[in-house]
């Protein structure tokens, strides 16, 4: 619980530095994501949020998620249609909140790991530019077996 509290304090500071506000609702949604043992879907978040806020509705969760993504605090995993906290949020890294990131997703147990391999992102960007494409960003999701399942 101390880790979640520390992450929430860092998130509030990050938002404040950017002129954004981590409202109580956004804080609750982010807390639920931080507490989840695995990436969590929007409707699972909504179910948990309804235990805290009776009137919570899907737009409530999606607006909070959009904010958290825009602030670089969470990532959306397209393959899983789920959300996970950014491992670098609040850390002193030189990428800003648009850092290169890739995800390793175990198809057996569902474990997910965020990695930051700038060479992978650079290779994707170079290949896209060679095709005349101007990339705005990319998220790589690699599926396979984790060390425990492999």
- CA dist., res. 123 & res. 2, Å (int): 38
Residue 6 domain-assigned (yes or no): yes
pLDDT tens digit sequence for 9-34 = 999 999 999 999 999 999 999 999 99
- Residue list, annotated binding site for Zn(2+): 106, 109, 146, 149
C-alpha 50/C-alpha 60 separation (Å) is 11
- Detail the residues annotated as belonging to a binding site: 106, 109, 146, 149
Quickly state the pLDDT bin for 101 (edges 50, 70, 90): confident
91 in helix, strand or coil?
Answer: coil
Residues 104, 79 share a domain:
no
pLDDT of residue 92: 41
Q: Is 38 contained in some domain?
A: yes
Q: Residue 137: which residues within 8 A CB-CB, separation 6 or more? A: 98
In a domain, 93, yes or no: no
The domain that contains 132 carries what CATH number? 3.30.1490.190
Q: Provide the domain count of the chain.
A: 2
At 75, phi and psi to the nearest 5?
Answer: -120, 150
The string of pLDDT tens digits covering residues 116-135 is 888 998 999 999 999 999 98
pTM attached to this predicted model = 0.85
């Amino acid at each position: 619980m101390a880790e979640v509290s520390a992450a929430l304090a860092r998130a509030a500071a990050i938002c404040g530095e950017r002129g954004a506000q981590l409202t109580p609702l956004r804080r609750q949604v982010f807390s639920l994501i931080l507490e989840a043992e695995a990436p969590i879907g929007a409707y699972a978040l909504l179910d948990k949020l309804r235990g805290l806020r009776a009137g919570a509705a899907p737009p409530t969760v999606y607006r909070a998620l959009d904010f958290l993504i825009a602030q670089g605090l969470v990532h959306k995993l397209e393959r899983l249609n789920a959300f996970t906290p950014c491992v670098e949020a609040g850390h002193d890294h030189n990428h800003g909140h648009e850092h290169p990131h890739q995800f390793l997703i175990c198809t057996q147990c569902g474990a997910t790991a965020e990695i930051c391999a700038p060479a992978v992102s650079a290779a994707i960007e170079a290949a896209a530019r060679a095709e005349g494409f101007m990339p705005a960003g990319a998220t790589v999701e690699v599926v396979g077996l984790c060390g425990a399942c492999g």
